[in-house]
Every structure is written in structure tokens, then in C-alpha cells.
């Protein structure tokens, strides 16, 4: 008896599903300008044209990609968050495009965004800046007073503090502590609390 054996060739290994590598979406300065325009429209003068100047600021100041992405997708409350992704000079230029000369909602939002992006590096001063930022939402104070307060605090305290002497650090801390107490009294008199 002869036994004939059949053997089949091994089945080919299944081919793995092809991997589609997602390509990261790179947003552009045009998209950042459109997002900024859209998100700040309610707080600006309706006749102010900011789209082209914002795109120019983005290109000329070479905004980093995280800032472009943030601005492209921002909502009305994201101005401070997105602005904090820019360096000081480009942030100031961007605020300059958006700023109104009159005390408006846009000027108030920009003052708040400037404060929210600040870190003085002296604990007492950082607490004062946070308190001023909180006071800007107090509608018991006139918008003029709030815009002035926010801009004044941002202008005065945007100082380099990295190489302060111990004595200068203590003097700044004392000044900020006094400023905080003065602010608390001022806003308590109109019915606001920082």
C-alpha cells in the first residue's frame, strides 16, 4: 500500500492593515487672524478692520505655532489664554491692533488679558496683579475707571525683576502689599471685592 500525502503550502501571513499616519494640521496666520477677528467682534467697534493688520502682525512678528493654533480656534473668553502664548513684544503689537482708544469692552478685555499674562516674580506683586484683574469684572465701577486701572497696573508692573537685589525685592513687595490694601478699600467702597 502506498500512501500519498498531500501537503498544502502554508497560508501567506495576513498583511497588516495599512497604517494611515495622520498629518498634523498646520494652521496659518490667516486662520489666526480670522479667529481673533471673530472672537473679539462683540467687544470691538463694528467698523474697526483688524483682519489684515492681525495677519500682518502674525507674519511679521513670527508667532509661534501654538499661539496661531490657539487664536485660530479661540472663543471670546480665550483672549488672555492665547495672548499668553506670545512673547511680550508681539503680544503688545497684537493688543495695539485690537485696542480702542476709548474705554470700551475691547479695551477692558485687552487690559485684563495683559494682566493675566503678567508674572512679576514677587509674590505680593503677583497677588496685586491678580486682584486688579479680578476687579476689572466689577460692573459697579465705571468702564472708564476699570480700563484706566487695568492699563495703569499693567504699565507700572511690567518690569524686569529677574536680577533684583534683596533690598529692591523687599521694597517692591512692600509697595505691592500697600497697593493691594488700597485697591481693596477702593473697590469695597463701590461694592466690589477683589
Q: Is the pLDDT of residue 47 over 90?
A: no
pTM flag (> 0.75)? no
- C-beta of residue 43 within 8 angstroms of C-beta of residue 104: yes
List the one residue out of 142, 136, 139, 127 whose CA is nearest residue 180: 127
Per-residue pLDDT tens over the stretch 68-116: 999 999 998 888 889 989 998 898 889 888 876 566 788 888 888 888 8
Q: Where are the alpha helices (DSSP H) in the chain?
A: 29-40, 51-60, 65-72, 79-83, 88-98, 105-116, 123-135, 143-157, 166-189
Contacts 24+ apart (CB under 8 A), 144-151: 144/103, 146/103, 146/108, 146/111, 147/103, 147/104, 147/107, 147/108, 147/111, 148/103, 149/111, 150/108, 150/111, 150/112, 150/114, 150/115, 151/107, 151/111, 151/114
Q: How confident is the model at residue 17 (pLDDT cuts 50, 70, 90)?
A: low
Look at residue 22 and tell me whether its pLDDT is greater than 70.
no
35 pLDDT above the threshold of 90: yes
Q: Which long-range contacts (CB under 8 A, 24 or more apart) does 139-145 make?
A: 140/190, 140/191, 140/192, 141/187, 141/190, 141/192, 143/103, 143/104, 143/105, 143/108, 144/103
What is the rounded average pLDDT for all residues in the chain?
Answer: 83
Range in 17-21, 24-28, 120-124 with the lowest mean pLDDT: 17-21
pLDDT: which is higher, 192 or 148: 148
- Cβ proximity of 166 and 118 under 8 Å: no
> pLDDT category, 193, cuts 50, 70, 90?
low
Does residue 12 have a pLDDT over 70?
no
pLDDT of residue 160: 67
Q: Which residues contact 189 (CB under 8 A, 6 or more apart)?
A: none
pLDDT at 31: 94
Amino acid at each position: 500500500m502506498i500512501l500519498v500525502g498531500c501537503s498544502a503550502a502554508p497560508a501567506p501571513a495576513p498583511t497588516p492593515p495599512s497604517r494611515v499616519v495622520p498629518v498634523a494640521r498646520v494652521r496659518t496666520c490667516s486662520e489666526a487672524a480670522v479667529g481673533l477677528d471673530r472672537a473679539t467682534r462683540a467687544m470691538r467697534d463694528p467698523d474697526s478692520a483688524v483682519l489684515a493688520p492681525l495677519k500682518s502682525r502674525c507674519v511679521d512678528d513670527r508667532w509661534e505655532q501654538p499661539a496661531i493654533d490657539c487664536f485660530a480656534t479661540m472663543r471670546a473668553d480665550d483672549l488672555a489664554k492665547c495672548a499668553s502664548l506670545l512673547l511680550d513684544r508681539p503680544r503688545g503689537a497684537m493688543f495695539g491692533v485690537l485696542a480702542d482708544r476709548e474705554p470700551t469692552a475691547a479695551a477692558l478685555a485687552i487690559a485684563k488679558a495683559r494682566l493675566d499674562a503678567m508674572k512679576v516674580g514677587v509674590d505680593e506683586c503677583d497677588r496685586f496683579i491678580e486682584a486688579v484683574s479680578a476687579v476689572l469684572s466689577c460692573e459697579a465701577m465705571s468702564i472708564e475707571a476699570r480700563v484706566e486701572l487695568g492699563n495703569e497696573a499693567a504699565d507700572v508692573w511690567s518690569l524686569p525683576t529677574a536680577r533684583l537685589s534683596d533690598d529692591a525685592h523687599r521694597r517692591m513687595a512692600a509697595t505691592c502689599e500697600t497697593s493691594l490694601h488700597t485697591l481693596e478699600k477702593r473697590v469695597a467702597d463701590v461694592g466690589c471685592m477683589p
